[in-house]
Structure 1
Amino acid sequence: MSEQREVPEGVREDVAEMVGDWRDYYEAKLGFRNHWYPVRFSRELAEGEMLTVKVLGEPLMLRRIDGEVFAIRDRCLHRGVPLSRKPDCYTKDTITCWYHGYTYRWQTGELVNILACPDSKLIGKRGIQSFPVQEAKGLIFVFIGDMDPLPPLEQDVPPGFLDDDLMVLGKHRDVNSNWRLGCENGFDTLHIFIHKDTTLRHYRDFNFPIGHTANPGAITLVENEGGPQGVEDDFSKHHPVWEGVIDDRIVVRGPRHNKVEGTSASSGTSIWLPGVLKVDGFPGPGLTQFEWYVPIDAGRHIYLQTIGCKVETEEDRVEFANEFEAVWKPHGLDGFNGDDIWAREVTEPFYADDYGWVDEMLCEPDSSMLEWRRLASRRNRGIQTPDDLR
């Protein structure tokens, strides 16, 4: 008998009963709360500047003050208007609502004054929510939740991402699909089919099948206490498919190259809570792609793409930066991953009414995706619901 519990607003109870052991994943339309999420690159927020972003349905404002980034909810306590509509920062540390003068401290969210009513008893007793912020590898991470103490950042990024010698470059954009479709597109072992014509094949010799199926032992669950939680897929233990056949006629061939051992363009993929993919050996040898699917709301996510390279010298840094701009960004993050974005957005309507989660017809290679759904349901720290936004 399935567990009896209240279904969050906006999800269907009948579907929740049918999905079984990955119910939490199904219910997490807005993502998993009590996790760290990257929202922007550090270079995008200069000293004294402000930016707005929505994460897990939360409207946020960020500002850099004396080198440190602070985040508060973008909603005035008084009448609920967005402070960002006309940001008035009369002092370095405060923001004043343009409507009636409610004034908040950036560092804490505390209501420190009401300029139009300076004797109000509310002053010093109320505040808007503030959110913990950390910067790492050139990214601004915000913690969405209410856990105390906070989990360390290293529990919410893939292994190796925080290595001292790893240089990270990347970009971000908004995608019109739910964040879960981003995760599953990246970790889906069959979706390589849409990349069969990628221009990346011109920039390195690699084996590029049109599909592959995991052999026994390819999938590993990582559930160590105190560390990141994820599912690893070893591509060296896959059975590749090189030719597509219809009615005994070959209609599609993968651009197979025998100069590199292995079965695919990378040595393996892994997916980690709260929703970040790691692709080893991709988009080129010695590189690792890390990409986050950060929920904006139920129908959109921030696609934050990064590529990491081990560097030892300034010359290494310059060489990687040049290759990133000339090759890996246009042909990888833009070209190769452009196919992924298109696929997610055209998949979204099927899942938008929730019934896609039970109407889908998965096949054998999708077992890795199911392991991700189960692990995410077991190991998340909470589900973000509309009630959390009130």
Structure 2
Amino acid sequence: MSEEPLVNPEVAAMVGDWRGYVEAKLGFRNHWYPVRFSKELDEGAIEVIQLLGERLLLKRIDGKVYAMRDRCLHRGVPLSRKPDCYTKDTITCWYHGYTYRFQTGELVNILAVPDSRLCGRRKIVTYPCEEAKGLIFVFLGDEDKVHELKKDVPPGFLDEDLMVLGKHRVVESNWRMGAENGFDTLHIFIHKDSTLRHFREFNFPLGHTPLPGAVTRVEDEDGPKGVEDDFSKHHPVWDGEIDGQVVIRGPKLDKVKGTSASVGTSIWLPGVLKVNSFPMPGITQFEWYVPLDEKRHLYVQTLGQVCTTEQERVDFANKFETHWKPHGLDGFNGDDIWAREVTEPFYADDYGWVDEMLCEPDTTILEWRRLASDHGRGIQTKQDLR
């Protein structure tokens, strides 16, 4: 029996050179994804997560995090329904006693059938984990094709002195609605009333269109693959007119200061945005759109600042809690969240990809779709969930 496609084949055939992106409704396999903050998983604790449609168990053993598929090989029940851990590095299925080692996924025993010939010969799927900058990353894919983490995070994220703080939450939309919302130059319009203006001066046009040379690909063999958008090469629109009458103006404080995030934005596989000089110069926002299933993504929001002294770390942490989290990650990005959730129904049946009517600034989105189709290391399918 052939596998049922995730995406309408008729739609996939119509979108041309970004077909792979449209087919990646559940995301791209063989990439690293952040799933939790390190501080959220204590020694010996188990966390149940979902990633690209798969249910996984995370456990920290002797300081290291391991990820195992949450499904017993015997009858397919979720181990998490009643996680019995009689030793620190094993989990026993509550139903029939099948016992697996977290580090390898190996079936080490069946408590009611200790002499079974299956023991030592079968394994549950496990996935590599790494921790960096206070985040737990899982590489969901084929173990013999594990790539370095540096190839799946934006440039600068792993810099030694960069301190990273953040939060995560579930958004009720496909991950691609998140990625395109973040990299969409025209969506700046919805942020025109942001409360962040109480804490920094913004030049915020109503919209801005990339000029030739603004949007470029980064495709170095040994680094991450992404698309960069240089805001200094944009044409901004400051006044909104209807029938020749100005009905709204974007805050314009000083031409020399340029627009918001004066350097620009970039987006990187497998789906992570980098915003320079935001929410203020000296801080960089990194945000991931992690596929949970076909209709939800985990929005991992982080801010990074170079801190070389303990006092700088304390000051950044304090400002994060009092300013940047409530007015940036919650307030400013709150606009983004509801925009994604409202957009989701239009694309849910797949026909939105051909019925949409994009305009000139959307060249950024189209370049991202093409790059993702060209360099995604594998499309998650329903077959991968079995």
Q: Does the pair score TM above 0.5?
A: yes
Equivalent-residue separation in structure 2 for 1:115 and 1:92 (angstroms): 16
The residue number in structure 1 matching 2:382 is 386
Task: Give the match for residue 219 of structure 1.
Answer: 215
Q: Which residue of 1 aligns with 2:301?
A: 305
Q: Does 1:344 align with 2:337?
A: no
TM-score by length of 1: 0.97
**Alignment partner of 1:210 is 2:206:** yes
2: CA distance, partners of 1:147 / 1:123? 22
Residues 60 and 73 of structure 1 are in contact (CA less than 8 Å); yes or no, is this contact kept in structure 2? Answer: yes
How far residue 148 of structure 1 moved from its aligned partner, in angstroms, is 1.9
**Is the aligned partner of 1:17 residue 2:13?**
yes
2:104 corresponds to: 108
Q: Within 1, Cα distance between the matches of 2:247 and 2:105?
A: 61
- Structure 2 counterparts to residues 62-77 of structure 1, below 5 A: 62-77=58-73
Equivalent-residue separation in structure 2 for 1:175 and 1:115 (angstroms): 41
What is the CA deviation profile of residues 23-54 of structure 1, one whole-angstrom value per residue up to 9, with x for unaligned ones? Answer: 00000000000001010000000111110110
Contact 2:183 2:265 in 1 (8 A): yes
CA deviation after TM superposition for structure 1 residue 226, in Å: 1.3
Cα distance, 1:7–1:286 mapped onto 2, change above 3 Å = farther
**Where do residues 296-335 of structure 1 align in structure 2 (5 Å cutoff)?**
296-335=292-331
Which AA in structure 1 matches 2:370?
Answer: R
Runs of 4+ in 1 over 4 A off after TM superposition: none
2: CA distance, partners of 1:89 / 1:218 = 54
* 5+ residue gaps, structure 1: 1-5
Of residues 260-269 and 176-185 in structure 1, the stretch that sits farther from structure 2 once superposed is 260-269
Q: Is the contact between residue 214 and residue 238 of structure 1 (CA under 8 Å) also seen in structure 2? A: yes
Name the SS of the counterpart of 1:16 in structure 2: helix
Correspondence for 1:28 among 24, 29, 52: 24
Distance verdict in 2 for CA 1:256–1:63, change over 3 Å: same
How far apart are residue 250 of structure 1 and its match?
1.5
The one-letter amino acid paired with 1:121 is: R
Structure 2 counterpart of 1:57, from 44, 53, 57? 53
Contact 2:107 2:124 in 1 (8 A): yes
Deviations 1:318-364 (A, max 9, x none): 00000000000000000000000000000000000000000000000
Q: Aligned-pair RMSD on alpha carbons?
A: 1.2
- Aligned 8 A contact 2:127 2:143 in 1: no
Contact preservation (8 Å) 1:238, 1:263: no
Q: Calculate the TM-score normalised by the size of structure 2.
A: 0.98
2-structure distance, mates of 1:134, 1:141:
5
- Percent identical across equivalent pairs? 74
Unaligned runs of 5+ in 2: none
> Does the 8 Å CA contact 1:7/1:13 hold for their aligned counterparts?
no
CA positional deviation for 1:264: 2.3
Matched residues in 1 for 2:104 and 2:260: separation? 49
The corresponding residue for 1:3 is none
340, 363, 369: which one aligns with 1:367? 363
Residue 181 in 1 paired to residue 188 in 2?
A: no
The reply on whether 1:142 has 2:135 as its aligned counterpart is no
| Counterpart check, 1:39 vs 2:30 | no
Give the count of matched residue pairs: 385
The 2-side partners of 1:261 and 1:103 are apart by 62
Distance 1:155 1:35, change over 3 A: same
Deviation per residue, 1:257-308 (Å, 9 max, x gap): 2286112244200000000000000011100000000000110000000000
Of the candidates 350, 355, 371, which is equivalent to residue 354 of structure 1?
350
Decide which of 250, 272, 285 is 1:276's aligned counterpart.
Answer: 272
Deviation at 1:147, TM superposition (A): 4.9
Match of 1:160 in 2: 156
The whole-number CA distance in structure 1 between the counterparts of 2:22 and 2:143 is: 22
**Partner-residue secondary structure (3-state), 2:57:** strand
1:154, CA displacement in angstroms? 0.2
Q: Which amino acid aligns with 2:270?
A: P
Amino acid at match of 2:201: D
**Match status 1:241 vs 2:237:** yes
Deviations 1:159-203 (A, max 9, x none): 000000100000000101000110000000000000000001111
Q: For residues 73 and 193 of structure 1, do their structure 2 counterparts lie closer, same or farther at Cα, with a shift above 3 Å needed?
A: same
In the TM superposition, what is the alpha-carbon distance from 1:13 to its structure 2 partner?
Answer: 1.1
2:3–2:382 Cα contact (<8 Å) kept: no
